[in-house]
């Protein structure tokens, strides 16, 4: 058996073949590089805060914010018509030169979660801190109705 190597003068066969493979299996980038999703960031977990005697005294929220410092993150509560929204946001971080791919979230984000009914919470006593890439927000219950429309919370 004799094998012959054929070199066509134009590359139209190869181009068509590559287009066929790409249409069947996707391009290298679409297969090997994950697509961006519209999922919420940061991911949040909500816990009950309990007193020493076991009574529920508020809620605690943990959010994953790897690579973000306390100075980058803004936390606030907005109240409108008795509905409270806890807002967590940050502006985009600058990208390091020479980066080849992106796996770490560095774009601006805003995430909100309801505090309903808002008069259940002491929004002026909310505290927030960041440690080891985890944002912790403590939201104690209250015995009075909030009078302000917006409360900014300092992140420690």
Domains and CATH numbers, the chain: 44-93+106-153 (2.60.40.790)
The four Cα atoms 30, 33, 36, 40 give a dihedral, to 10 degrees, of: 140
**Taking 90 as the threshold, does the pLDDT of residue 156 lie above it?**
no
**Which ranges of 27-135 does DSSP label H, i.e. alpha helix?**
28-32
**Which ranges of the chain does DSSP label H, i.e. alpha helix?**
12-25, 28-32
Quick one: what percent of the chain has pLDDT higher than 70?
Answer: 66
pLDDT, tens digit, 9 for 90 and up, residues 3-21: 555 555 555 555 566 666 6
Residue 79 confidence (pLDDT): 83
Q: How confident is the model at residue 38 (pLDDT cuts 50, 70, 90)?
A: very low
Locus of tokens 């939201």 = 139
Mean pLDDT for the chain overall: 76
For residues 103-137, b (16+ Cβ closer than 10 Å) or e, as one string? eebeeebeeebebeebbbbbbeebebebeeeebbb
Q: Which two tokens stand for residue 61?
A: 């929220």
Q: How far is CA 139 from the centre of its chain?
A: 20
pLDDT, tens digit, 9 for 90 and up, residues 68-95: 888 989 999 988 777 888 999 988 877 7
């Amino acid at each position: 058996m004799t094998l012959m190597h054929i070199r066509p003068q134009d590359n139209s066969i190869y181009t068509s073949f590559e287009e066929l493979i790409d249409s069947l299996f996707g391009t290298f980038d679409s297969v090997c590089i994950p697509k961006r999703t519209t999922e919420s960031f940061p991911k949040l977990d909500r816990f009950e805060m309990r007193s020493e005697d076991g009574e529920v005294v508020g809620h605690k929220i943990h959010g994953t914010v790897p690579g973000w410092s306390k100075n980058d993150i803004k936390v606030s509560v907005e109240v409108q018509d008795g509905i409270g929204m806890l807002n967590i946001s940050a502006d985009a971080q600058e990208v390091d030169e020479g980066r080849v791919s992106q796996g770490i979230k560095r774009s601006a984000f805003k995430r909100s979660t309801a505090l309903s009914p808002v008069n259940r919470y002491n929004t002026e006593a909310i505290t927030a801190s960041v440690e080891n890439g985890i944002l912790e927000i403590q939201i104690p219950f209250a015995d009075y109705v909030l009078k302000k429309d917006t409360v900014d919370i300092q992140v420690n």
